[in-house]
Amino acid sequence: MRNLAWINGTVSDISEAKVSLEDRGHLLGDGVYEVTRIYNSRPFYLSAHLERLHKSAVAIRIDIPVRIGEIEEIVADLIKKSDCIDGYLYIQLTRGSAQRNHLFPVGATPNLTLYVRGLDPLPALEAVKPAECITLPDERWLNCHIKTVNLLPNLLARQKAAEAGAQEAILYRSGDVVTEGTRSNVFILIDGKVRTHPESNLILSGITRRIVLDILTELAISNSEENFTRHDLQNASEVWITSTTMEVNPVAKIDGNRVKGTAPGPICYRLMEELRNKIAATCF
C-alpha cells in the first residue's frame, strides 16, 4: 500500500507532504486530532471519532473548514487511493498558519491534515500479549477531555514506562485516584464489578472505552463509571486497558507486581471476543 496524506485538499505521499513552518500546531500545539483504526479497508467507528473531533474543535474554538460529511468522503477516497487494508487514519486540525503569536490570528484559515498508514493485522486473541504497566502521577492539564496535540506529559510518562520495561504508564491524581493511561483507558474488576474512571475533564473518553461499556451492559455484567485508587488497582482480580489501536489489552503486572487473577481473565477475554465480533460485523 501507499502511505498517503491529504492536506487542505492536496494528496501526496507522506514523505512529500508539507505544512507551513508557521502552522500553529507545529509552533504552539494549537490543534486537535483523532486516530481511527482501519480494518478490511474500512474505518472503524469513524462517525464517533469525527463527533469527538468536532467537540474538541469547539472546545478550543477552531472551525473545521469542511463539513463532517466531506471528511467521510475524503477518508474513503484516501483509503481507496492508498490501497490500505489494515492500518490507521490520523486526522489533525490546527488553527492555521500565521506569524507566531499567542493570540488567535485574525483571518487565518484552519489547516486540516489526514493521512493513512499501514499496520500489521492484530494477532489472534490467543496471541495477545498481556501488558506490564507502571503507575505515575498524572501531571497533565485539567482539560484532558479535549484531544489536543499537546502530548508532552503523556510522552514523558510513556518513556518512563518503556525504560522500566513496561508497555504503559497508568496515571493517578490526588488521593491516588487512577485516571487513565498515557494512551489508553483503564478498567478493573474488583468485588465482582467492572469499574472505570467516569467521564470528566480528567480523562479522554475513548471510543473503545464507550464500546466496552456498552458490551458490558449488553452482557449484563455489573459495571460502573466511578473512581478507584491505586490500592484498588493492585487488588483487582482483572485489569485491562483499551484504545483504538490496541483494542482490549489485558494487564499482567503493575509496578512489578502480578495482577491477582489471570491475564486475560474471563471477563476481559469475553470483551476481547465481543469487540472483535463488532469489528467483524462493521468492517467485514
Strand order in 42-43's β-sheet?
A: 10-13, 4-7, 111-118, 87-94, 31-39, 42-43
| The three three-digit cell numbers of residue 253, written as one number | 503486572
Alpha-carbon distance 180 to 177, whole Å? Answer: 10
Q: Quick one: which H or E segment has residue 268?
A: helix 266-283
Q: Does 253 participate in catalysis according to the annotation?
A: no
- Is residue 254 within 8 Å of residue 242, measured between CB atoms? no
Alpha-carbon distance 85 to 102, whole Å? Answer: 41
Q: How many CB atoms lie within 10 A of CB 123?
A: 9
Distances (CA, A) of 122 to 1, 86, 133, 138: 17, 9, 20, 29
Q: How many CB atoms lie within 10 A of CB 1?
A: 15
DSSP state of 225: E
Q: Which one of the listed residues 18, 55, 147, 260 is annotated catalytic?
A: 147
Positive/negative CA dihedral, 193, 199, 205, 211: positive
Distances (CA, A) of 237 to 221, 247, 284: 15, 20, 34
Q: Looking at the annotation, which residues are catalytic?
A: 147
